[in-house]
Amino acid sequence: AQYVQRFWKVLSEMFNEEQKKLFLKFVWGRNTLPSRDEYFTENFSINLLMRDECEADKMLPRSHTCSFVLHLPSYSTVEVMYERLNYAITHCSSIDTDG
């Protein structure tokens, strides 16, 4: 799906290391990855946040930290996705299971 491709482009090419840590905290409640594969308790998944297509660019992504799930609207461009994800990760810092 195009929204998933845009997400991976934002994460791999546009986010810096600090933003990646904030993203992990947003979707998982942690800012570091486990040191070993077997310590992963949940598989990461991305789901489409369904709303009126016309309104998607105005929406923010949502997450469920206990199940490591990201709900993304189908943003119109990679730039809009970057802006909305960056806003969400920098303004949501209430959960921290690392500390």
CATH code for the domain in which residue 35 is found? 3.30.2410.10
Range of the domain at 30: 2-42+54-91
* Residue 16 within any structural domain of the chain: yes
What token pair was written down for 34? 């486990």
* Residue 58 within any structural domain of the chain: yes
* Residue 96 within any structural domain of the chain: no
| Residues taking part in catalysis | 66
User: What are the strands of the beta sheet with 62-64, ordered from one edge?
Assistant: 45-48, 69-72, 62-64
Domain tally, the chain? 1
User: pLDDT tens across 13-26, in order?
Assistant: 999 999 999 999 99
pLDDT of amino acid 79: 97
* Residue 8 within any structural domain of the chain: yes
> pTM for the full model?
0.84
pLDDT of amino acid 94: 60
User: pLDDT tens across 46-95, in order?
Assistant: 999 876 667 899 999 999 988 899 999 999 999 999 999 999 999 986 65
Query: Between β-strands 45-48 and 69-72, what pairing exists: parallel, antiparallel or unpaired?
Result: parallel
